Amino acid sequence: MGSDTFVIAGEELESRLILGTGGVTNHAVLEEAIRESGTALVTVALRRIDPAAPGTLLDVLEKAGVRILPNTAGCYTAAEAVKLAHLAREAFATSWIKLEVIGDEDTLLPDAVELVSAAQTLVDDGFTVLPYTTDDPVLARRLADVGCAAVMPLGAPIGSGMGIRNPYNIALIREAVSVPVILDAGIGTASDAALAMELGCDGVLLASAVTRAERPGEMAAAMRHAVIAGRLAYRAGRIARRLHATASSPVEGMPTW
Amino acid sequence: MTTRVAVVGAGIIGLGIAWRCVQRGLDVTVYDAGEDGASTVAAGMLAPTSEIQAGEEALQGLLVDSNRRWPGFAAELEKATGVELGYRDEGTLIVALTDDDLREVRRLAGWYERAGQPVSPLTARQLREREPLLSPRVRGGAHAPQDRQVDPRRLLTALRHAVGDRIVPRKVTDLADVDADRTVVAAGIGTTTLTGLPVRPVKGQTVRLKAPAPPVRHVIRGYARSRPVYLVPRHDGELVVGATEEERGADTTVTAGGVLDLLRPAAELLPGIVEYPVTEILAGLRPGTPDNAPILGALKDNLIIAAGHYRNGVLLTPVTADLVAELVATGVPPQEIEPFTPDREALWT
């Protein structure tokens, strides 16, 4: 079956699980969660951290040897998001940006119009743009068309832990775009992450499911296994769903007496 | 000859240790850098129940231990100084605004229970019987009877009285300049430059309002559309609303977003507060450590650390003062500080 590498914008990542840091204050717990998750890419909100300050969780990420993916969490307009992305590029010396432009405070759903506008600007400015988007296949295609390096549809609203509310749309997005699809937001537990991978997603991004779990390290390990299991199942080719049973052993040749 | 003890840092932790050392007959000098520390911004919740996060079981044991010491500590300090500390034991009401918030509160309640700190669930009606000014939109919550409160500024005043003229105004920048048999570093976020230990500033903004009369009796710890906030009432009508948690280095600017994040959920839970004058908006720097637990114990011979109390400095003052003074006086570390020593793995990985 050959190798199964996970590549974004020409860069290979060693894990298909991307971890968010929102909700963590305990650096020792975060360090354990990163280790147990096996992640190679961790996203950080520039709004919540001053990269120049000593002793922040950035030190934890550096020691863990993971790549940092700055995000524009907390932005409500394309203009704010673009400005923050430029600040992030300066501060973190990376042109990768997880683009979030939120349209509504209570649901934290993306604002599609502002999102495409910001994505276009940032692609033109030379960024590798990973946009957080709704589970709309048409919007996903638009984002891919303007040059985003991946699309990151939600399974359910951020922090809701509601899982994948519309698996059908996620499967459609997988067909609609050729860039990597990363399920972002809504993961509550391991089976949600496995389902995302079984639907054909190339990766899963999650934060609260681990950082707010009672034992983050254990949940991080569960997510690592879930993503691996889901990916293997997707590639292995599942059997068809049938209404009636099919015996797993043939009935021909059964001894008679 | 009497042992000469230097305490570097005149916050509540340093002064608490100094007071206990004086009681043990030691010759104590406290070096006061003259800068406002975290204790002047802190609200003063003594919350062994609702301050705990995942993976912090050892810390919780210390919080519970210190909470048990608080009634005696408060009584003794008030008697010694005549300063009333604003010590109160009504407990905390945990309040949820929406059904989502209530689910989160129930999840936390289950966890507190398993951690041996049970809370009693309350319906919305029961909450509003206890606190009639809570919003009618409140969906439910719980009572944490173990939680208490104290006014940290009064605590600081009392401890300064108790330690008296042993406090010397001097900012220590190098421990080699300190002449003493034993030195205790209780310098909060200043501990890093003095010792190299990993203590980082975690910014917290708080807002103080002044009500004509206290609008609530209990400390309120609320969740309003996933935004956490606490409201701490004082007898004189002061209401402390806190607190943000920001990794921004030593920055102490107050921001519109920080204030909004506090006042919005506060007003959703307790609508009447919008009428009150704002008396102060402050940002303080909590001394945080990698595992959120304090650093207590000897770093080397005759150099003892008591720092990094993060969100729990006020609550942990009695236990820190007792245990560190014992270590200073006897040279033998009490077994309670064993999980918190400066050589523990979490500080160095």
Q: Does A242 fall in a domain?
A: no
Q: Does A66 fall in a domain?
A: yes
Give the pTM: 0.87
Considering A8, A41, A96, A98, which one is annotated as catalytic?
A98
Report domain extents, chain B.
4-84+150-199+289-347, 92-145+201-288
Residues A207-254: pLDDT tens digits? Answer: 999 998 888 999 999 999 999 999 999 999 999 888 888 877 766 777
| Cα angle A20-A195-A173, degrees, rounded to a multiple of 5 | 85
Q: What is the CATH number of domain B92-145+201-288?
A: 3.30.9.10
Q: What are the phi and psi torsion angles at A49 (to 5°)?
A: -135, 135
Q: Does A252 fall in a domain?
A: no
Q: What average pLDDT score do residues B217-224 get?
A: 96
Find the domain containing A226 and state its range.
Answer: 14-236
A223: closest CA among A254, A189, A249, A251? A189
What pLDDT score was predicted for residue B116?
Answer: 83
Is the ipTM higher than 0.90? The answer is no
- Asked if A159's CB is within 8 angstroms of B226's CB, the reply is yes
Residue A207: cis peptide before it, omega within 30 degrees of 0:
no
Q: What are the phi and psi torsion angles at B201 (to 5°)?
A: -75, 130
Residues A41-68: pLDDT tens digits? Answer: 999 988 777 777 777 788 888 889 999 9
Under CATH, which architecture does the B4-84+150-199+289-347 domain have? 3-Layer(bba) Sandwich (3.50)
Per-residue pLDDT for B40 more than 90?
Answer: no
Q: Does A204 fall in a domain?
A: yes
B199: closest CA among B324, B321, B295? B295
Amino acid at A236: A
CA distances from A128 to A121, A144, A146 (A): 11, 12, 12
Q: Does A244 fall in a domain?
A: no
- The CATH number for A82's domain is 3.20.20.70
When divided into structural domains, chain A yields a total of 1
- Asked if A159's CB is within 8 angstroms of B248's CB, the reply is no
Entry field: residues in chain A: 257
- Asked if B249's CB is within 8 angstroms of A53's CB, the reply is yes
Q: Is A98 annotated in the active site?
A: yes
3-state secondary structure A194-231: HHHHHCCCCEEEECHHHHCCCCHHHHHHHHHHHHHHHH
Q: How far is B225 from chain A (nearest CA, A)?
A: 7
B182: closest CA among B62, B45, B331, B347? B331
Tell whether A178 lies on the interface with B, counting CB pairs under 8 A. Answer: no
Q: Does A230 fall in a domain?
A: yes
Is A64 annotated in a binding site? The answer is no
How many CB pairs below 8 A link A and B? 68
Higher-confidence position of B68 and B114: B68
Q: How far is B291 from chain A (nearest CA, A)?
A: 5
CB A152 within 8 A of CB A183: yes
